[in-house]
Amino acid sequence: MHPSPLLAATSAALLLAATMPQLAQAREIVGFSDLYSSGTVVVKTNERALYYVLGNGKAVRYPVGVGRAGKQWTGMARISGKYLKPAWSPPEEVKRDKPSLPNVIPGGSPTNPMGAAALTLSGGGEYAIHGTNNPGSVGGFVSYGCIRMYNADVLDLYNRVSWGAPVVVTR
């Protein structure tokens, strides 16, 4: 006996929902009194949190992984690109530390550290806000300076943020 296509699809959807609730619910709407205009992305590295400012004292807060000791940065940038399933070329510093990495990892590959989407930042092309295929790294001091998000959260942010939106990174 074979299960009906509807039963199989329902079972698959329930299994997916049961295994990923923390990822889908990681973001939350919070009070936000900092004086940034709506549409601004604010990363507070000490909190390991990214805020997408909604305005009227509210923001969407997402947990993130940030730069490890000696790799953190602060400042202002803008969203310079939006990519779904981006390919990744390791920056020179990463390649120096891990010479066995290929020069390019195709988008969608399980070994691609960019995950489901990437929002590149102005200022030289070294940094991005991106998903990850290592969800256990979200919430830590883990990167070479990029901001890591759960894949479900980076897709949510991708749909909210505009090209050219300001990004502020603070301690």
Residue 171 neighbours by CB distance under 10 Å: 11
Angle at 119 between CA 45 and CA 55, to 5 degrees: 65
Alpha helices (runs of H) in the chain, residue ranges in sequence order: 5-19, 21-24, 92-97, 151-160
Catalytic one of 64, 79, 121, 146: 146
User: How far is it, in rounded angstroms, from Cα 115 to Cα 66?
Assistant: 15
Q: How many CB atoms lie within 10 A of CB 22?
A: 11
Catalytic residue list contains 146: yes
130 is catalytic: yes
Helix and strand numbers, DSSP H then E, in the chain: 4, 11
Q: Select which of 130, 143, 150, 154 is catalytic.
A: 130
Residue 153 φ then ψ, to 5°: -75, -40
Active site residues: 130, 146
